[in-house]
Structure 1
Amino acid sequence: MWVRMNVTVVVPSPLRGTDPDSFAERTVRERWPRIVAQTIRENDFPEAVNERLWALHRELPDGPIRPIQDPGAPDLPLWDEWVAPYLGETWASAPWLFTEHYLYRRILEATGYFQPGPTYLHDPFRKQKTEALDPAAEAVIVLARAANERATQPELARAQLPLLVRTALWGNQIDLSMWSAGEAPRHLGTDRETAHLLADDTDALLAHLEAVAPARIDLLADNAGFELLCDLVLVDGLLAAGYAHTVVLHLKAHPTFVSDAMIADVLETLDVLAAAPDPAPRALTERLRGYLAAGRLRLSDSFIWNCPLPMRAFPKLPLADLARSNLVIAKGDANYRRLVDDAHWPFTTPFAEVVGYFPAPLLALRTLKAEVVVGLDEARIREVAAQDPEWMTNGHWGVIQFYRPAR
């Protein structure tokens, strides 16, 4: 089981779009322009909005970083502070974690998300999100039926928690900034669920849950659509097993990373499942709504989850809130990159050494979509690299990593 390391950590340099032949470079030069162009195609924006988006498109990848220009937006003072260190740098030269969040905030600036008018609070990525969950799909019905069975059998829910953790992990393969829902790799229900794990601390997680139950558990959500359903099934299982008395689901305060989930996406997911033709998703929805009404499932959003900072640099207040949790589950690639500073760590650097600043027990569930990872075995790295040269970025490999600070 991971414990706090009594060492001084020197954080390596961050990933940047200028890293030669890297996924960051490909993202800045190819993926981001494609995302901006797709945003224009998929929305019926006024021509002035489209002109602003095309101007943003022309800035990529070598245009300068400038302040956010969004008068009256609630997060504008925050972004003035976050942008200041990088003024004069380019999209490619500034740290990738910063520029990726900055891109999505610039898209909202261009679309007038925070401005009065026809595009006020219009999610520019909603079309892709709503297409990412089919309530009649076989996988949705199978997940819901199994969840309903666990809901009346706490021992079954406990026995199946490793399966629920893997389901939440591999649900992270559905990332609409990289693939459409139909194109994304899927390991659920195959032997790749375990064969493609690069690290697996499930046993340490179970021991911790047995020791602290019933617990407050916080889940840092990632994508809407099918992944969000997998997360809600995990939440349902933790409550059914008696491992959690309360689950706090942390969501984005505004659209970002194309498919990242907001409170509106959770509520819409429940509405979609409630209208499913099969009774199993409807029963799951009724139970989740009951948890919401009773306060056992809480939905929380904050601009901190849209900020461009690594978690080590977070203000004290959000970290102090997470310190009250008995377990924080960090889902997805972006949250993992935050946790490990999005930096050029040697891949064998112990996970505990890198996240030793974190104030609560931590579970990271992440499929690899960027060239940053820690806590791996050297022999395993060589084996996987020989088998799959794109293992760090193609979403086919995952980690289940647990850390518990010393008390």
Structure 2
Amino acid sequence: MEQPLCVPPPLRGTDPGSFAERTVRERWPRIVAQTIQVNDFPASINKRLRALHDELPDGPIRPLQDPGAPDLRLWNEWIAPYLGETWASAPWLFAEHYLYRRILEATGYFQPGPTHLLDPFRKQKTAALDPSAEAVAMLARAANERATCPEQARAHLPLLLLTSLWGNQIDLSMWSADKAPRHLGTTRETAHLLVNETEAAHAHLEAIAPARVDLLADNAGFELLCDLVLIDGLLAAGYAHTVVLHLKAHPTFVSDALIADVLELLSRLANASDSAPRLLAKRLRSHIAAGHLQLTDSFIWNCPLPMRAFPALPHAELARSDLVIAKGDANYRRLVDDAHWPFTTPFAEVVSYFPAPLLVLRTLKAEVVVGLEETRIGEVASRDPEWLTNGHWGVIQFYCPPRPVSP
């Protein structure tokens, strides 16, 4: 009988000298302070945000104080195991999601009043696209060419995956858009891949097309555009008949994408001065109208659980997919339990619980990764001591569950 996988301990803010520790002690207070700075909140909200700021990093985890919020019961269940722990001592994956939910509690996101459903990170998200007008037009022109030629779209799949992967460098919880590393259009696109299993994913799509593809979105802004261009290419190539785009149910991680962010991006493309983005927006809207591109959100993508611990229903929904594409660092951390795995642990072994073929596109911004070769680890670590967290290195990893054996 196969032995159950033993999951290592989770990353915590008490791990000495770790990026998690730096996040809890430095990044999170800065994010809360910035939320005050960029918004014109009334004094009562700023007071609550300052109180949250002062809890970090050694204040206690407490239940939410957000009466009537639609996710209140769920969150109090998720919080219960960590009551009495501190922001630093609780598992990092839990505490990070809890932080963003506490920001919404402080800003009255779910409460009646002037800040009801007001995204406290909207200004940062909107500004993140402004420096990218030329890149937006270039991506749109290439997408429009592919839309007229399925053969070109199929041949360009590796390029589309790279574009979507490195779009993940634009992460507003890490750095401002103008200071993010940029590998797109450089030799670093491939040179900085630690794992590249594009060929296996490409072969899988060739074998099953046309397929249902599910994409777990990460950041709004330029990365979301890169993801929409990938979706457009999958549809143009005939690889997908339907793409389900999974988005967050409420603001989190500063720049994570909501359905509202997709609609705003499409509006900006439709009103661009260049005709190429306008044509791309028209085509994407037609995909939505025809049901080929489906926008969906769920509190499950805002929850503090590793994916292994998801309830049965979300797993059953993902099991309907022919390919799930997971974008970004937070989704990767969730997939691999945000745990202290040896970096050489086989990727397929860690995600063997996953119910569908899985492709991950992730730039490294946390000290957790699996599926690497020992020699590659040594080579990269000697060149770049910050390789695990600085967003300069990426992985394209593919897993396909074994087919059931017929009796």
Contact 2:352 2:401 in 1 (8 A): yes
Report the Cα offset of residue 206 of structure 1. Answer: 0.7
Structure 1 SS opposite 2:79: helix
What is the match of residue 268 of structure 1?
264
Structure 2 SS opposite 1:199: strand
Q: State how 1:6-405 maps to structure 2 within 5 Å.
A: 7-134=3-130, 137-405=133-401
What is the identity percentage for the equivalent residue pairs of Structure 1 and Structure 2?
82
Distance 1:195 1:319, change over 3 A: same
AA matched with 1:326: D
Give CA deviations for 1:75-110 in whole Å, capped at 9, x if unaligned. Answer: 000001000000000000000000000000000000
CA distance in 2, matches of 1:385, 1:6: 34
AA matched with 1:95: P
Report the Cα offset of residue 136 of structure 1. Answer: 6.8
Give CA deviations for 1:119-176 in whole Å, capped at 9, x if unaligned. Answer: 0000000000001113872111110000000001000000000000000000000000
Distance 1:145 1:269, change over 3 A: same
AA matched with 2:305: L
- Tell me which of the two structures has the higher relative contact order, counting C-alpha pairs closer than 8 angstroms and 6 or more residues apart: 1
Unaligned runs of 5+ in 1: none
CA distance in 2, matches of 1:36, 1:268: 25
Give CA deviations for 1:215-256 in whole Å, capped at 9, x if unaligned. Answer: 000000000000000000000000000000000000000000
Contact 1:347 1:375 in 2 (8 A): yes
Report the Cα offset of residue 6 of structure 1. Answer: 5.4
CA distance in 2, matches of 1:277, 1:232: 20
CA distance in 1, matches of 2:198, 2:305: 28
CA distance in 2, matches of 1:305, 1:57: 24
AA matched with 2:383: Q
Structure 1 stretches of 4+ with a deviation exceeding 2 A read 5-8
CA distance in 2, matches of 1:136, 1:45: 29
CA distance in 2, matches of 1:129, 1:291: 24
Contact 1:135 1:141 in 2 (8 A): no
Unaligned runs of 5+ in 2: none
Contact 1:249 1:300 in 2 (8 A): yes
CA distance in 2, matches of 1:97, 1:135: 31
Contact 1:14 1:95 in 2 (8 A): yes
Report the Cα offset of residue 181 of structure 1. Answer: 0.6
AA matched with 1:148: N
AA matched with 2:323: L
AA matched with 1:217: V
* TM-score w.r.t. length of structure 1: 0.98
Structure 1 SS opposite 2:324: strand
CA distance in 1, matches of 2:354, 2:250: 25
Q: Root-mean-square deviation (CA), in Å?
A: 1.0
CA distance in 2, matches of 1:398, 1:9: 26
